[in-house]
């Protein structure tokens, strides 16, 4: 019977041939060796034994005068042996993998991204001093320390980020944006429109209004400090108004489906009519012109041009809109007008519409939109002093 020992150590099916194969079986039995799955074969017997018993069985075989052959090999021993036999390629593969790991453990290149205002070699030298240079062991590089070091050493930098991609180290740098002096506000903050103050948040200067105050365009909201311009966020409710009219009679130009083609050839200044109507065949029409110039694409195309004019007959359909539809149309137009004037960052609080004009032919609508938006506008210092 197969035991775990045999499965691990391996077992063999042995074929026995000769005058009396049972003799070998009995010799094995006398030696107290394990034997199992014995069966008759065409030329003798076959049975299974442990690999460890093979030597003894071979000795007994000589004694018995039989011939034995190994028919099958089973158990974990044989794949193990194969592996051992293939040791060289496995070791080579391992050495290769280890080499790849070791080689890719080093920094091969250091790339700079950004930091254009600073000399490249100065930056690379600084990075190298901090431990990142071609040939450095990646494991020993402290990215965060280098990032901090760069920001400390170069005050022009606003941000530094370092990442490792394989054997590449990519250093990303963002330079501090220097605001030009002329961009720095120096005067007061004034209202750019009429409105009611909602919120006011002063960073520099002195607030001249408070939430709930009604202000008019140009009114000082925050006065500048002694040497510095006013800086604040002032949000107010502002109203926009628009008026639009919509005609109640709508005319649509539609195709009747009738089409005529006319052909012409242009030779220099002369136009030669080749076929089709010489003038538009319909009272109302639209035309589509297609032309071909001979030799187009050449350096000097021939002065011959063929023209195809296609006339489409048109008819006008008049439609009298209901009051509601005309009002909707006018409202849509008025709303578009007013919203096109409102800044995108403004928040629409309320929208009121009113029909102010209505006749048989025309409907007029007025729209009033209330928005909340930033109304502070910097005024140069000279004007502030003057005002």
- Residues found near another protein in the complex (CB under 8 A): 1, 21-22, 25-26, 28-30, 32, 34-40, 45, 47
Instruction: Report CA 301 to chain centroid distance, whole Å.
Output: 47
Q: Do residues 114 and 139 touch, judged by C-beta distance below 8 A?
A: no
CB of 29 to another protein, least distance (A): 5
Residue 123 near residue 112, CB atoms below 8 Å? yes
Closer of 45 and 220 to another protein (Cβ) = 45
Q: How far is the CB of 90 from another protein (least distance, A)?
A: 39
For residues 11 and 311, which CB has a smaller minimum distance to another protein in the complex?
A: 11
Q: Which is nearer to another protein, 75 or 185 (CB)?
A: 75
Identify which of residues 32 and 227 has a Cβ nearer to another protein in the complex.
32
CB atoms within 10 A of CB 3: 12
Question: How far is CA 84 from each of CA 50, 81, 208, rounded to the nearest angstrom?
Answer: 20, 5, 91
For another protein, the closer of residues 9 and 281 by Cβ is 9
Mind giving me the DSSP string for 274-305? Answer: EES-SS-SSSSEEEEEEEEETTTTSSS--SEE
Structure tokens, 340 = 């096109």
Q: Which is nearer to another protein, 11 or 47 (CB)?
A: 47
For the bound state, the minimum distance from the C-beta of residue 105 to another protein, rounded and expressed in Å, comes to 58
Q: Which helix (H) or strand (E) holds 96?
A: helix 87-103
- Smallest gap from residue 25 Cβ to another protein (A): 5
Q: Provide, rounded to whole angstroms, the least separation between the CB of residue 2 and another protein.
A: 10
Cβ at position 24, least distance to another protein in Å? 10
Instruction: Pick the closer one to another protein by CB: 36 or 78.
Output: 36
Tokens coding 160: 């530094």
Pairwise CA distance, residues 276 & 289, whole Å: 14
In DSSP notation, 241-259 reads EEEEEEESEEEEEEEEEEE
Smaller CB separation from another protein, 1 or 179: 1
In whole angstroms, how close is the CB of 45 to another protein at the nearest point? Answer: 6
Tell the smallest beta-carbon distance from residue 23 to another protein (Å): 9
Helices 120-129 + 143-153 axis angle, to 10: 130
Q: How far apart are CA 266 and CA 275, in angstroms?
A: 13
Q: Which residues have C-beta within 8 Å of that of residue 338, sequence separation ≥ 6?
A: 240, 241, 242, 367, 369
């Amino acid at each position: 019977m197969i035991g775990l020992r045999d499965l691990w150590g391996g077992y063999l099916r042995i074929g026995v041939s000769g005058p009396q194969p049972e003799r070998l079986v009995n010799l094995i039995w006398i030696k107290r060796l394990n034997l199992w799955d014995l069966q008759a074969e065409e030329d003798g017997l076959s049975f299974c034994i442990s690999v460890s018993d093979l030597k003894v069985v071979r000795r007994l075989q000589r004694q018995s005068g039989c011939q034995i052959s190994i028919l099958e090999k089973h158990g974990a021993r044989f794949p193990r042996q194969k592996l051992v036999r293939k040791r060289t390629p496995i070791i080579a593969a391992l050495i290769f993998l280890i080499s790849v790991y070791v080689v890719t453990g080093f920094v091969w290149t250091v790339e700079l991204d950004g930091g254009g205002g600073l000399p490249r070699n100065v930056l690379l030298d600084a990075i190298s001093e901090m431990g990142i240079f071609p040939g450095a062991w990646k494991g020993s590089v402290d990215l965060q320390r280098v990032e901090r070091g760069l920001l400390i050493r170069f005050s022009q930098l606003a941000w530094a980020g370092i990442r490792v991609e394989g054997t590449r180290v990519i250093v990303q740098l963002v330079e501090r944006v220097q605001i030009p002096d002329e961009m720095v506000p120096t005067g007061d903050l004034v209202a750019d429109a009429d409105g009611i103050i909602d919120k006011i948040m002063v960073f520099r200067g002195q607030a001249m209004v408070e939430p709930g105050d009604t202000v008019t365009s140009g009114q000082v909201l925050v006065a500048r400090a002694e040497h510095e311009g006013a800086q604040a966020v002032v949000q107010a409710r502002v109203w926009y108004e628009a008026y639009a009219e919509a005609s109640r009679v709508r005319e649509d130009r539609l195709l009747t489906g009738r089409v005529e083609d006319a052909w012409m050839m242009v030779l220099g200044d002369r136009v030669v009519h080749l076929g089709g109507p010489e003038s538009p065949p319909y009272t109302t029409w639209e035309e589509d012109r297609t032309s071909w110039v001979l030799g187009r694409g050449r350096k000097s195309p021939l002065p011959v041009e063929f023209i195809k004019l296609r006339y489409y007959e048109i008819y006008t359909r008049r439609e009298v809109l209901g009051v509601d539809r005309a009002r909707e149309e006018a409202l849509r137009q008025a709303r578009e007008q007013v919203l096109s004037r409102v800044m995108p960052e403004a928040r629409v609080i309320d929208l009121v519409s009113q029909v102010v004009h209505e006749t048989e032919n025309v409907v007029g609508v007025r729209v009033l939109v209330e928005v909340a938006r930033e109304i502070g506008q910097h005024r140069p210092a000279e004007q502030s002093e003057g005002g």
